[in-house]
Chain A
Amino acid sequence: MRALFRRENRLGLLVVLPFAAFVGLFLVYPTIVVLYKAVTPGGSFGTEALQRALSGTYRTGFINSIALSGASAIIGGIVGILLALTIKSLDRPRWLHPTLDSWSAVASQLGGVGLAFAFIATIGAQGILTKLFMSVGVNLADYGISATGFWGLVVVYLYFQIPLMFLVMMPAVNGLKSSWREAAAIMGASPGRYWWSVGIPILTPATLGGILLLFVNAFTAYATAYVLNAGGALVPLQIRFLLQGNVITGEEDLGNAIVAWVIALLLSSLLIMTLLQRRTLKWTST
């Protein structure tokens, strides 16, 4: 960094400064203010707000959000990696891999208003699947699969989670060299033994990293949850409630405290994810 400030490097400084000022003003400054206010509720230093943010309905919110993000990350992670492995093993229809690649790039960005509408038309009260299952005597809502139920939300989130996992895992899966499989077979290893001793250990860091990314992705999803059930007890919806509700003294600090916890949660997930990714790179970079 110091090299930037040497005389001959005025050009570097000239391009870095506006960029740093921009990020500082619009990202770092508001974030620091929120974190500072979270630990100084009512003007003096204290942890009351941070404690309140994890009690009562807000505790429920965090539990629900973590459960929803966790469930959709684990299921999406497993399906996503199975999809990546399946696609790698099938080379017959040539169009399959590039099509799925492009589709995943698109679908992983599709979370939002439109996706929520699509699932209202599918598993909502008037949804076509709801009706189809009803006609054979199965009420999907009894299993939590409605547009507002827990498993319904998981089903909706999977729509962008599975493609994201596929995108994140494909490089790692492609990094499994066929020569390793051949070497294992020549040494007499069964396919099961190959996966147990080679495949799974190599894919594990990337898989865990991918699942953490999915977790973060689901935790911060707002539009889908809002359109499906604006009153639900999820952290992003509670932040909205605090932000738009009448500002009672202390409520503002509560919002700041919740955001502080969210940032702490995301930051630690992403730190672990980066460490795991570094391990993956060791095997897949060549």
Chain B
Amino acid sequence: MSMEAVTALMPGSDHVEGLQASPNTKPTLRATSAVKWVFLVGIALYFAVPMLAMARFAFQAVPTALLTPEKLFTGWSAAGLWTALTDPQILAATKTSVLLVVFAILLNLILLVPLAIVTEVRNPQIRPYLTALTLLPWVIPPIALVVGVAATFRATVPWFLASNFSLVPFYALWAMPFTYRALDAGLQAINARTLYEASRSMGASLATIIFRVLIPNMRASMVAAAGLTAAMVLGEFAFASLLLKRTLPTEMVNYQRSDPRGGLALALFVMVLTALSLGLVVRSLRRRGLNIQTTGL
């Protein structure tokens, strides 16, 4: 039996045309192919419809109750989005969120870049501990940790929780799994240990190796980690909301109460921006062949 004949027997193989499949198998294969496409179109609709509905609500000033087919193209405007974007409180919250993103990324890189390098080139025996640690944020999610934080820091160091930047260490914590994974994947992709030994044998000092050999090679991982951290921080709601902080997500919910249309437009805008930047990060990772799970597992 030739290979081609074998594949033609399989469910789901599409090599129907051009093969001498017997007349009665051809329609069934075509039928399974049709089922698959119906399934895919259904999934696509499920993912597209809410976004389209949101866009319509956000940019068309026609209430759903009055929407008729002939009114489909009237009343479109982006004024709501503009009002929302220039709202002083939204601007202040955006500034807070952007600063939180920057500080969380910096804190994570300061803590994890040396750790990832030392683990990879000198102490591989601590790797299992670090890998186990990446599961911790799944076990202690924001909604659980916030209770512990309220029970500890609120009583002992109230000034710490009063500041917006008290969110930084916790956001860094939840971004740790994928940051560490990204850095580790980057180090393995460049064969860090060989580079380290080669530089060492040519007489390079440790600082030279880290700053002139390893870190320049880890730029892609750092950008990926930064992109994922930004997406996480710009979407995190539970922790900020329960500690009464005014970050972009919490302020968006407040804003939506007074201006539903503008609130939705703003949320859609933020979502599209996040999706685009995340998509770019993922694509550039694929192109470099870095296999990094965005789930952090």
Partners in one complex: yes
Contact A270 B238 (CB under 8 A): no
Closest to B281 in A: A105
Give CA–CA (A31, B152) in the complex, Å. Answer: 9
Report the stretch among B138-146, B195-203, B211-219 that lies at the interface: B138-146
Give CA–CA (A106, B278) in the complex, Å. Answer: 6
Q: Pick the contact of B282: A26, A101, A164 (CB < 8 A).
A: A101
Give CA–CA (A118, B47) in the complex, Å. Answer: 11
Closest to B277 in A: A106
**Is B6 positioned at the interface, with any CB of A under 8 Å from its CB?**
yes
The answer to whether A267 and B53 touch (CB under 8 A), given A108-B295, A185-B6, is no
Distance of B287 from chain A, by nearest CB (Å)? 10
Closest to A32 in B: B148
**Is A136 positioned at the interface, with any CB of B under 8 Å from its CB?**
no
**B contact residues around A12 at 8 Å (CB):** 118, 122-123, 126
Give CA–CA (A105, B274) in the complex, Å. Answer: 12
Distance of A198 from chain B, by nearest CB (Å)? 12
Contact A121 B54 (CB under 8 A): yes
Give CA–CA (A18, B109) in the complex, Å. Answer: 13
Contact A113 B14 (CB under 8 A): no
Contact A168 B295 (CB under 8 A): yes
**Is B186 positioned at the interface, with any CB of A under 8 Å from its CB?**
no
**A contact residues around B143 at 8 Å (CB):** 220, 222, 236, 239-240, 262
Contact B267 A114 (CB under 8 A): yes
**Is A216 positioned at the interface, with any CB of B under 8 Å from its CB?**
yes
The answer to whether A270 and B282 touch (CB under 8 A), given A37-B151, A220-B144, A243-B146, is no
**Is B30 positioned at the interface, with any CB of A under 8 Å from its CB?**
no
**A contact residues around B238 at 8 Å (CB):** 222-223, 226, 236
**A contact residues around B56 at 8 Å (CB):** 121, 128
Report the stretch among A42-50, A55-63, A90-98, A137-145 that lies at the interface: A90-98
Give CA–CA (A31, B283) in the complex, Å. Answer: 37
**A contact residues around B252 at 8 Å (CB):** 113-114
Give CA–CA (A19, B264) in the complex, Å. Answer: 40
**A contact residues around B188 at 8 Å (CB):** none
Contact A26 B36 (CB under 8 A): no
Q: Pick the contact of B123: A3, A101, A103, A185 (CB < 8 A).
A: A3
Secondary structure dominating the interface of B: helix
Give CA–CA (A13, B23) in the complex, Å. Answer: 71
Give CA–CA (A26, B238) in the complex, Å. Answer: 17
Distance of A211 from chain B, by nearest CB (Å)? 14
**Is A127 positioned at the interface, with any CB of B under 8 Å from its CB?**
yes
Contact A117 B148 (CB under 8 A): no
Contact A30 B145 (CB under 8 A): yes
- A78-119: which have CB < 8 Å to B? 79, 82-83, 85-86, 89-92, 98, 101-103, 105-115, 117-119
Give CA–CA (A37, B151) in the complex, Å. Answer: 9
Give CA–CA (A11, B231) in the complex, Å. Answer: 33
Give CA–CA (A21, B238) in the complex, Å. Answer: 25
Give CA–CA (A101, B283) in the complex, Å. Answer: 9
Give CA–CA (A186, B10) in the complex, Å. Answer: 11
Contact A263 B54 (CB under 8 A): no
**A contact residues around B148 at 8 Å (CB):** 29-31, 33-34, 259
Would you mind naming 27 contact pairs between A and B with Cβ atoms under 8 Å apart?
A15-B115, A22-B111, A27-B145, A31-B140, A34-B151, A90-B36, A101-B282, A105-B278, A109-B235, A110-B274, A113-B237, A113-B253, A114-B235, A119-B50, A121-B54, A122-B49, A122-B53, A128-B67, A186-B6, A191-B9, A213-B138, A213-B297, A220-B142, A222-B237, A239-B144, A255-B147, A256-B151
Query: Residues on B close to A: CB < 8 A?
Result: 1, 3, 6-7, 9-14, 36, 39-40, 43, 46-47, 49-51, 53-54, 56-58, 63-65, 67, 111-112, 114-115, 118, 122-123, 125-126, 129, 133, 135-136, 138-153, 169-170, 172-173, 206, 228, 231-232, 235-238, 241-242, 249, 252-253, 256, 263-264, 267-268, 270-271, 274-275, 278-279, 282-283, 286, 293-295, 297
Query: Residues on A close to B: CB < 8 A?
Result: 1, 3-4, 9, 11-12, 14-16, 18-19, 22-23, 25-27, 29-31, 33-34, 37, 79, 82-83, 85-86, 89-92, 98, 101-103, 105-115, 117-122, 126-131, 158-159, 162, 164, 167-168, 178, 181-182, 185-186, 191, 213, 216, 220, 222-223, 226-227, 236, 239-240, 243-244, 252, 255-256, 259, 262-263, 266-267, 270, 274
